[in-house]
């Protein structure tokens, strides 16, 4: 069964053909990074407008590379939640148009579930239940994954997503956008830096996260606590002495210190949850899952706990349509098909 997947929930415009939920026949991603970079983050309205320009060429390319026509497609899958509402609507409208014209079923797909699916897509028998961590620019959430089609959220960030913290800290350090690869590049081979930034593990019943305190700690470390008025405070003078933004070694040290703090928290929370939930394994997906330190630390910890780690490949960790078309195959088989009245939801 050949499914065309479409993904426009944020700033990647993507389409892919996937056979039987597993075999990608094409994988097209048109990134908007360069249009959002001057703003240091994704501007929703610009994202929707750019999707409008790129969606049809991207779908055409996905069909051409896979050597199929719209008539050969068995179903059209599309991300309809969560994401930027205008961006989602562009993909959803294109998918509806195609499904209607080619008389094919429409399969709405949850973006986060697709990120989890990306981590087990190439495995035949994942050891369910899994603890799934989806860590991206918009989300940092833990799931109890009973099966590919049954996952329950057991924790989430209370404020910034981890990827968002990477993006904001990169802006503080003058490293540009997107921040994840920039911080990772600046930190280089340093697994740890000299600054012991806070590791926040919020209490309560859930396995929640919080990254805004860490982000603020980096800001104050680099610039001191801001005060009204023109005079520099003593703290700001001290910050200027300890951190020189034009010194690549200091930038690398702070980048590595920040990265280590994020990774510590993600690893600790995930494996703590996995143990408490008696999970058979851990699954990792989302854009931040492209980070080498996170991948290495998760791998070490899984070995230590003697449970398998299901890691999305770097290519399928960041937003793509292969994971959408892949998961849609299982949704289709379970009868989870949408009508032309399918809506888009930001959450
Ligand atoms: O999943 P994704 O492509 O889009 C969303 O659904 O948000 O994730 C994008 C996020 C960005 O915040 C980006 O900075 C982060 O993933 N990211 C990384 C790395 N590559 C991308 N964070 C840390 N290390 C990386 N290598
Ligand atoms: Zn994503």
What is the per-residue pLDDT across 261-314, written as a single tens digit (0 to 9) for each?
999 999 999 999 999 999 999 999 999 999 999 999 999 999 999 999 999 999
Q: Is the confidence at residue 231, as pLDDT, over 80?
A: no
Query: Which ligand has the minimum distance to the alpha carbon of residue 164?
Result: 1
Query: Which ligand has the minimum distance to the alpha carbon of residue 211?
Result: 1
Q: Of 80, 79, 70, 72, which Cα lies nearest the Cα of 100?
A: 70
Question: pLDDT of 153-187, one tens digit each?
Answer: 999 999 999 999 999 999 999 998 889 999 999 99
Q: How far is the CA of 167 from the centre of ligand 1 (A)?
A: 8
What is the arithmetic mean of pLDDT over 77-92?
A: 97
Q: How far is the CA of 183 from the centre of ligand 2 (A)?
A: 19
pLDDT confidence of residue 124: 85
Predicted confidence band at 219 (pLDDT cuts at 50, 70, 90)? very high
d(CA 37, CA 32): 9
pLDDT confidence of residue 225: 80
Q: Is the confidence at residue 243, as pLDDT, over 90?
A: no
Among the ranges given (135-144, 226-235, 275-284), the one the predictor scored with the smallest mean pLDDT:
226-235
Q: Is the confidence at residue 76, as pLDDT, over 90?
A: yes
Among the ranges given (89-93, 246-250, 278-282), the one the predictor scored with the smallest mean pLDDT:
246-250
pLDDT confidence of residue 40: 79
Q: How far is the CA of 176 from the centre of ligand 2 (A)?
A: 20
What is the arithmetic mean of pLDDT over 235-260?
A: 91
Question: pLDDT of 318-339, one tens digit each?
Answer: 999 999 999 999 999 999 999 9
Helix ranges, the chain (H)? 33-36, 44-66, 85-102, 111-120, 162-172, 179-187, 212-223, 234-242, 248-276, 292-305, 314-317, 322-333
Angle at 258 between CA 253 and CA 264, to 5 degrees: 125
d(CA 246, CA 225): 20
- CA 136 to ligand 1: nearest atom: 8
More confident residue, 259 or 70: 259
Q: Which residues surround ligand 2, an ion (CB under 5 A)?
A: 136, 319
Going by CA atoms, what residue is nearest to atom 19 of ligand 1? 180
Q: How far is the CA of 194 from the centre of ligand 1 (A)?
A: 25
Ligand 1 proximal residues by C-beta, below 6 Å: 10, 136-138, 163-164, 166-167, 178-181, 184, 286-288, 290-291, 318-319
Predicted confidence band at 232 (pLDDT cuts at 50, 70, 90)? confident
Q: How far is the CA of 158 from the centre of ligand 2 (A)?
A: 18
Provide, rounded to the nearest whole percent, the portion of the chain with pLDDT above 90: 84
- CA 162 to ligand 1: nearest atom: 12
Predicted confidence band at 233 (pLDDT cuts at 50, 70, 90)? confident
Question: How many CB atoms lie under 10 A from the CB of residue 166?
Answer: 31
Q: What's the whole-number average pLDDT of the chain? A: 94
pLDDT confidence of residue 315: 94
d(CA 284, CA 299): 10
Structure-block tokens of residue 89: 């609507």
Q: How far is the CA of 189 from the centre of ligand 2 (A)?
A: 26
Going by CA atoms, what residue is nearest to atom 22 of ligand 1? 180
Q: Which DSSP helix (H) or strand (E) runs through 17?
A: strand 12-19
Q: Is the confidence at residue 205, as pLDDT, over 80?
A: no
Going from the C-alpha of 113 to that of each of 21, 93, 133, the distances in angstroms are 14, 21, 11
Contact status, residue 330 vs residue 3, Cβ threshold 8 Å: no
Predicted confidence band at 94 (pLDDT cuts at 50, 70, 90)? very high
Q: Is the confidence at residue 107, as pLDDT, over 90?
A: yes
């Amino acid at each position: 069964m050949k499914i065309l997947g479409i993904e426009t929930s944020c700033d990647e415009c993507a389409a892919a053909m996937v056979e039987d939920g597993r075999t990608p026949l094409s994988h097209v991603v048109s990134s908007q990074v360069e249009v959002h970079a001057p703003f240091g983050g994704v501007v929703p309205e610009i994202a929707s407008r750019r999707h409008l320009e790129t969606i049809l060429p991207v779908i055409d390319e996905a069909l051409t590379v896979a050597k199929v026509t719209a008539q050969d497609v068995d179903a059209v899958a599309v991300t309809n939640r969560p994401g930027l509402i205008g961006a989602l609507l562009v993909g959803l409208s294109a998918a509806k148009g195609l499904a209607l014209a080619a008389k094919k079923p429409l399969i709405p797909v949850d973006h986060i579930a697709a990120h989890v699916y990306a981590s087990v897509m190439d495995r035949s028998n994942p050891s369910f239940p899994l603890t799934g961590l989806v860590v991206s620019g918009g989300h940092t959430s833990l799931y109890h994954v009973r099966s590919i089609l049954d996952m329950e959220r057991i924790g989430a960030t209370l404020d910034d997503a981890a990827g968002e913290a990477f993006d904001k800290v990169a802006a503080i350090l003058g490293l540009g956008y997107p921040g994840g690869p920039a911080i990772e590049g600046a930190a280089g081979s340093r697994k740890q830096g000299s600054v012991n930034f806070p590791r926040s593990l919020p209490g309560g019943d859930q396995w929640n996260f919080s990254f805004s305190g860490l982000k603020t700690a980096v800001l104050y470390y680099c610039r001191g606590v801001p005060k009204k008025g023109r005079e520099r405070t003593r703290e700001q003078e001290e910050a200027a002495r300890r951190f020189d933004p034009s010194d690549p070694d200091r930038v690398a040290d702070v980048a590595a210190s920040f990265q280590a703090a994020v990774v510590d928290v993600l690893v600790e929370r995930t494996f703590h949850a996995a143990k408490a939930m008696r999970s058979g394994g851990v699954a990792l997906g989302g854009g931040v899952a492209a980070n080498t330190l996170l991948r290495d630390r998760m791998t070490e910890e899984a070995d230590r706990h003697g449970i398998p780690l299901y890691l999305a490949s770097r290519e399928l960790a960041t937003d793509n349509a292969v994971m959408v078309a892949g998961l849609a195959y299982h949704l289709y088989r379970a009868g989870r098909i949408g009508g032309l009245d399918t809506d888009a939801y930001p959450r």
